[in-house]
């Protein structure tokens, strides 16, 4: 017998599904942390770096699979939300958080491509 919980919206979920959703939610929040200035250049905070690594690598796919969410569609939707520059919250993300996400993603892509060239 599966142990199910019912959310406020009436959707039933297992403890595992709630855990996976929480991990993904935390990664999205961490991915929106403002970058920091180090020696006159902007750098990712460590939490934002790990969050972007999780979001854009294969790691997130098993979590999304458990939640029956297509990884490609998920990433496309997140990108669409974060690219929006309107001055109000979208998907629970403020304009400042979305701007930080975009900047962090660029920093992470630069870091990732540099790492790949050295490998």
Best CA proximity match to 93, nearest among 32, 50, 20, 18: 32
DSSP letter assigned to residue 70:
-
Best CA proximity match to 108, nearest among 27, 39, 40: 27
Q: Give the tokens for residue 70.
A: 């297509």
In the chain, what are the domain boundaries? 5-118
* pTM for this predicted structure: 0.83
Instruction: Walk along the chain (119 residues) and give the pLDDT tens digit of each residue.
Output: 344 344 556 667 889 999 999 999 999 999 999 999 999 999 999 999 999 999 999 999 999 999 999 999 999 999 999 999 999 999 999 999 999 999 999 999 998 777 666 65
């Amino acid at each position: 017998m599966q142990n199910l919980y019912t959310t406020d919206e009436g959707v039933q979920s297992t403890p595992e599904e709630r855990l996976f959703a929480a991990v993904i939610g935390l990664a999205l929040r961490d991915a929106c942390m403002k970058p920091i200035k180090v020696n006159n250049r902007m750098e990712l905070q460590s939490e934002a770096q790990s969050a972007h690594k999780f979001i854009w690598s294969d790691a997130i796919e098993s979590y999304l699979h458990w939640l029956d969410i297509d990884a490609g569609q998920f990433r496309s939707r997140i990108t669409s939300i974060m690219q929006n520059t309107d001055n109000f919250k979208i998907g629970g993300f403020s304009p400042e958080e979305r701007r930080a996400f975009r900047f962090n993603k660029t920093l992470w892509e630069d870091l990732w491509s540099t790492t790949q060239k050295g490998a």
